[in-house]
Amino acid sequence: MPSKKITIERRRFLQMSAAAVAGIAIVPSCTMGLKNLPFPLKRKFGNMDFDVTTLGLGGQASIQWTGEEIDPVQIILKAFDTGINYFDTSNLYLKSQLHYGEAFKRLNLVPGKDGYDEKLRESIFLTTKSHIRWGKKGFPEKENVGNWTQGDHGDGVIGDLKRSLSQMFGDGKGNYPEGAYVNMVLCHSLNNTDEVDVLYKGLETPLDPEDNFGALVALRDYRDGTNHTGLNPKHEKLLRHIGFSGHRSAPAMIDMIQRDNYGILDGMLIAINPNDRNKLNMQYNVIPVAKEKGLGIIAMKVFADGAMYTKKAEWSNSPGHVVMSVGSEELPSKPLVEYALTIPGIHTAIIGIGHIDDDPLKCQLVQNYYAAQVEPDALNEDERREIEQRTKHVKDGQTNYFQLDKEDLSAPQHVRVEGNRLAWDTAIAGDEPIEKYEILSDGASIAEVEHRPQISKDPFVFDRLKKGRSYQVAAIDRAGRKQVSEIIKT
């Protein structure tokens, strides 16, 4: 079914007066009831066989931090009614999965129950997350590797997977019905390469079922119905895709993608909003790598976890942190949603909902839905920079407290001679994208190599070396800035 068009003069919107208190109330209210919502825009979800709506429902906000007089199940049901087809939750989100479970019962999404609506289940994409890095219980301690879950199932990542199924489709006590599955499990909140090392244990290293191994090889067994780890004796298939998420370190996330020589990763959830370039940014570093690899890419922290508005610039930990308004007079919410969804490679944005309302102008869900009806190329570069300027000083510029501090463009990494060729790994971009690499011989420029997202550990190369010469590689970004490597002699 073709999408209905909403005609919005974007520059007019970006310059809207403070009279538009809701921030995005630019569609007449008579057209904004659920019955009159435009058919949702969808995008091909990476290499996965699924077309995802541009707005997904986040599993936090009031679904996790549920305040008095808030019914989180009604938020989920209303998201279904709007046509949203991507749903997010986690083992770390208090009762979020249980709230989904109650909604799924009402929607007849529980396999084996009378009236089970298999067609509806196949039409949605359900993602949960685990912060356990090891495949099974008894994981060895390792510095800088966070392993935690919620509850006391006493098991590794598969314990989290089964807990998710039990809470959303079963009895909430560990049991789940035959035919239950989640579409994707994300290894959540990746922070550093030590965690990547653990996750790939048993893939990059010999797999010993008697020892422990990383979460990825364990999840692969439950994706493929195999039992290489010994954890899946019934050869169950409980998930369809595996991915990861990250808020903090673009370099660690790049490493996670580059090391996947096993057909493991299909998706990436990433923090992204207009203050991204004030930090070590995602949009010029890891997002292009994920896009080139064909991952389905989900945006989160579109409003900086509420720090763009009423919440302090810190991690949420109570219902009081949940934002209940729709934008603000000073900063409408629509441009922030559009900013995320016009970054090349982003397919959908998950946004947590604090408040729904019968009045569509006050309903966060309806307003975010309208904001997300945006094509990938809807904003030009000038419009994106205008949005960045409007958010730059919110919370004294500290909204993205979850990201690494900003760094300038780096030199190409790991420059070396391999046989008769010069090899190097990608530079890390500063606040502008990398455009090319310049080859210097004895200080003089002799060649250029186009930059491309480095999707594996296969390096960039220059193969016209001459013996007895010294070489350097310079990274050059869109602003013309240059960072030169150390001298390598042949």
Average pLDDT over residues 257-266: 98
* Burial class, 408, CB count within 10 angstroms (exposed 0-12 / middle 13-18 / buried 19+): exposed
Categorize the per-residue pLDDT at 36 as very low, low, confident or very high, splitting at 50, 70 and 90: confident
Residue 158: helix, strand or coil by DSSP? helix
Amino acid present at 28 = P
Angle 481-482-483 (CA atoms, 0-180°, nearest 5)?
Answer: 135
Please give the average per-residue pLDDT across 430-441, as a whole number: 98
Tell me the pLDDT band of 241, cut-offs 50, 70 and 90: very high
Q: Where are the alpha helices (DSSP H) in 305-391?
A: 334-341, 364-371, 381-391
The model's confidence at residue 12, banded by pLDDT at 50, 70 and 90, is very low
- Evaluate if residue 267 carries a pLDDT over 80: yes
* pLDDT one-digit tens code per residue, 366-406: 999 999 999 999 999 999 999 999 999 999 999 999 999 99
* Cα maximum dimension of the chain: 78
pLDDT at 462 over 70: yes
Cβ atoms of 99 and 129 within 8 Å: the answer is no
| Confidence band of 146 (pLDDT split at 50, 70, 90) | low
- Report pLDDT for 1: 38
For 10-397, give the CATH class: alpha beta
**H, E, C per residue of 83-143:** CCCEEECCCCCCCHHHHHHHHHHHCCCCCCCCCCCHHHHHHCEEEEEEECCECCCCCCCCC
Q: Which pLDDT belongs to residue 386? A: 97
Q: Is 261 exposed, middle or buried (0-12, 13-18, 19+ CB in 10 A)?
A: exposed
Residue 154: predicted pLDDT? 65
Three-state DSSP class for 196?
A: helix
d(CA 296, CA 76): 22
3-state secondary structure 18-62: CCCCCCCCCCCHHHCCHHHCCCCCEEECCCCCCEEECEEECCCHH
| pLDDT score, position 139 | 62
**Residue 92 near residue 147 (C-beta atoms within 8 A):** no
Name the 3-class secondary structure at 168: helix
Q: What is the pLDDT of residues 334-365, one digit of tens each?
A: 999 999 999 999 999 999 999 999 999 999 99
pLDDT band at 145; cut points 50, 70, 90: confident
Q: Could you tell me if 215 and 240 are in contact, meaning their C-beta atoms sit under 8 angstroms apart?
A: no
**CA pair distance 260, 268, nearest whole angstrom:** 13
Residue 158 and residue 165: Cα distance in Å, rounded?
11
The predicted pLDDT at position 34 comes to 72
| Average pLDDT taken over every residue of the chain | 91
Q: Which architecture, in CATH terms, is 413-489?
A: Sandwich (2.60)
Residue type, 95: K
Tell me: the pLDDT tens digits for 188-203?
A: 999 999 999 999 999 9
Whether pTM > 0.85 for this model: the answer is yes
Confidence (pLDDT) at 11: 39
pLDDT band, very low/low/confident/very high, at 7 (cuts 50, 70, 90): very low
Domain-wise residue ranges, the chain: 10-397, 413-489
For the chain, give the percent of residues with pLDDT over 90: 87
Average pLDDT over residues 309-316: 95
Answer yes or no: are the C-beta atoms of 26 and 9 closer than 8 Å: no
DSSP β-bridge partners for residue 239: 182
